[in-house]
Structures are given as C-alpha cells and as structure tokens.
Structure 1
Amino acid sequence: MKKYTVLILAGVKTSFKYRFKIITSILFNSIYLCLLYFVWRSIYNDKITISGLTFLQTYTYMCISTVLTYLYNSRTDWKMSMRIVNGSIISYYTKPLPVQLQFFFEAIGNVCVIFLLVVMPVVLVVLRIRQLGIYMNFVFFLFSLLLAFTINFCMEYIVGTIAFFTESLWGIIILKNTLISFFSGGLIPLRLFPETMQSLLQWFPFRCIIDVPISILFEPNIGIDVIFALIVQLTWAVVLVLVSQLFFKISEKVLTINGG
C-alpha cells in the first residue's frame, strides 16, 4: 500500500509544483462557464425546454461536464509519448510495480488536487441549487466517477502506447480528445442528440465518461437505469484495462533505447 501512496503523493506534489497552471486553468474555466451561460441563454431564447431540458438543467449539465473534463485531464498520453520517445520510460521498468499502475496512481495524485479544489465545490453548489441531499445518488456518483476516470485513463494509456510506433502523437491525441468531448456529453448534453444516436451511444465507452456520472448525480432515486449504466461502465472499465495492458505488452517489444 505504501508504494501506491508514494506514487499518489508524487502526483499531488507535481500538481502543486505548477500552482500557477492550476490558478490559470480555474480562471479560464470560469470565463468559459460564463461564455457558456450566454451561448445557451441565446439558444433557448424564449423556449422553456429543449428535448425536455430547461435552460437551468442544460447549463448545470454543461458546468459539471466542463469541470469533469478538466478533472480527467491527467495528460497520461502526452507523458507516455514523451518518455517513450526520449527513453526515460525505462525508469518505470526498474520499479516494483507494473508500468500501467505507476502511471495510473500518478494520474490519481494529479486529479485529487483538481477534485478537491474544483469539482467538489461545483458539485456541492449544484446539489444545493437542485435541492438534492447528499445521499445515495452522491455515493453512486463518486463510484461512477472512479469508473469514468479509469475508462478515460485507459484510453489515454492506449493512445500513449502508440508512441512506440511513431514519434509524434499530436494529431492522434487531438482526435481522441475531440471524439471523447463530443460523444461523451462534454460539448453538448446527449439528451439533445437524436434518439437513435442516444440509443447507440449508451453501449459505447464515451458516454460512460461524462454523461453517466452527471445523470446519476441528477437522479434523486436509484433505479434500474442507474444500475444498468453502472454495469455498462464497469464492463467497459474492465475491458479497457485488459486491452490497454495487452496492447502495451505487445507494443513494448519494439522499444529500443540507445546510449550508455
């Protein structure tokens, strides 16, 4: 347990090492949320609801999706690509933990800071505004958040592993971020998508990252829909963990480190 704690603390220290980055990120996200308010206010105009969502519900959804997107941004794919290209990835092989677990707990350390400083205050405000108590839906929300982070991390890990085959991942990472943002509910609530697409997306891992945790947070009663969403999340988390491990094991065979 101690070795995991050391990695988490290392991630926390790394985050606080770049305090200015945290402050500026919070500032820019605040400005972005203000802009979102006016954008969605103009979209609704004189409409009371769109696809069954009021302006307040949509804007609250977008606020949570924005901070969750920020929360998941551990940049594991960038870190892996840089360390594979410059050869420093070899240091991970000298430690008594699988490479994936080392990156995972480092990422947890990074997001712990963001969770406490950004996500929790926003979530508590939302619970207050919507007059939701901190009861079972919040507990399920936290569990869903952990699964969502795991799914997102595995996607980043898989993309980062591609660096074994190419020196630049910039385009691939941008494409991955775009797909996740659009199909997870990060840019537009999935309730506003056509019903056919909504039905299709519920089986894909993208929805599990943003839409599922928010839907659980807004659901005062834990019903079959919540349980089903959690089962889908858990299934994708397990599948992606196994796929990312297998892909890394296959890919690392092409690693070549030159130097003395």
Structure 2
Amino acid sequence: MNPTKNIQQTVLVTGAASGIGYELAYFFAHDGYNLILVDKNGAELPRIADDFQLKFGIKVKTIVKDLSISTSPTEIFTELQQESIRVDILVNNAGFGNHGLFANTDLTTELKMLQVNIVAITHLTKLFVREMVKNGYGKILNVASTAAFQPGPLMAVYFASKAYILSFSEAIANELEGTGVSVTVLCPGPTESPFHQTTGMADTSLVKGKKMMTAKTVAEAGYHSLMRNKTVIVPGLKNKILAEFARVAPRKLVAKIVRSMQEVR
C-alpha cells in the first residue's frame, strides 16, 4: 500500500489514456492520490482505472469527453460538482498537432486543435482555479512543448498553441503567488509516443532515426517539478540548450532551422 497522506487529494488528468498523460497518472496513483481520468478514448480508460485501483488502492473515476467539443469542460466540472468531488490538482495534458504547409492543411482539424490545445485548457483552468484559490490550495500542471519557444513552419498552428500555453502558465503563476495555488508548465522535446505517427512527423529530420525521451521520463520530470512548485520545466539538457538558443537567436534564423528539422526526409 502506498503512503496515505495524499489519499484524500484528487488529481484530474486530461489525455490520460496514453503517452505522457498516462505516465503522469501512474505517478500520482503510485503516491496515493485519487484520480479522475479524462480522455476521448473510452475503450482504454476502464482498464487503466481497474489496474490503478487494484495496484494502489485508490479511487479512480473515468470521464469520456472529447475536448474539441466546446461544452466538454463545463460538463466535466458540473459532473464533479454534482458528485461533490474536489479537484486538488489539475493536469491539462490533452493536446494534438498536425503537419504540413498552413495553406494546405485542413482548417477543421486546426480549429479542433485550437479548441483542445488552447480553449479547453483555459476553460478548465478557469473553472477549477477559483475553487483552488477559495480552498487556499491547489496545483496546476499544463503540458506545453519546446515548440513553445519558437515559430514552427510546417506545424504553425501547433507551435503557436504551445506558445500560448507557456505564456498563459507563466502569467497566472505570477498572479497566483501567495494564494497557495501553484502553476507548472512542462515543455518536453520530441517524446516517444504515437504523436509522431498521427501528425505525420515520423519521417521528418527531427524525429526519424533520433533517440527520444520516453513518456515516462518526461512525466517523471513534470511530476517532481510540480511537487516542488517550479514554474517552467524543460526536461533534458539538449532540450534546455535548444530552448535557450531559440530565445536569443534571430527569429528569422530560428524559423529557418525549425523548417529544416520539420521537413520530411
């Protein structure tokens, strides 16, 4: 049995059925937190919930919601309020991207991406942070990317959405100082996950043949940084160096370098 000091605290994780979201949920479960797992993949959530409950003796609630639908955040919040479930830690992990020239990519897909990557994160944070401030305690972990530090030709909307998450998180972290609520933004580089296949990135110079961090390693860095109330975490020395380079180098040069990395070999 895991430590019981956290057993009354509850963590909500979006995009919890796979990748970084699943691994983050695992770390919380291991340390005795109750979980609310949110994902549009309803097939996987019950299996994960059963596994966590059996292994760690925690409570796990699953909610199947597609965050590209604008009403989903309110529906999640309302359901939890009706069941008197207090969320102590919010993990905004759900997100997706697409690859290609902006003039050619699908508008409907990109509008859904903005809804998930920007609007849903903002909406969920707004709903839950007010309760956290009122209670004098809470933690928020937003998952961005090293993409947040530079423009991203061939993934223009995705990179821009991650820049929003970084800026938003840093700003509200400052606003919430002294309230008992902390905000952490996790900015991983390329990570082993289905993301690269689904976005068409698998054959780009950035990904093909490259050794990437595992989702577990990224999640572990995010988890421990959240617990230490760090604001921005970029896992991996190489990723830190590239993020700093993007901050100081001429923007036009950075865009050209990113373009070359994003092109299919």
Q: TM-score range by the shorter chain?
A: 0.3 to 0.5
Judging by fraction of residues, say which structure has more helix: 1
TM-score, length-normalised on structure 1?
0.33
Structure (1 or 2) with the greater strand fraction: 2
Question: Please, what TM-score do these two structures have when normalized by structure 2?
Answer: 0.33
Please identify the structure whose Cα radius of gyration is greater: 1
| Structure with larger RCO (C-alpha < 8 A, sep 6+) | 1
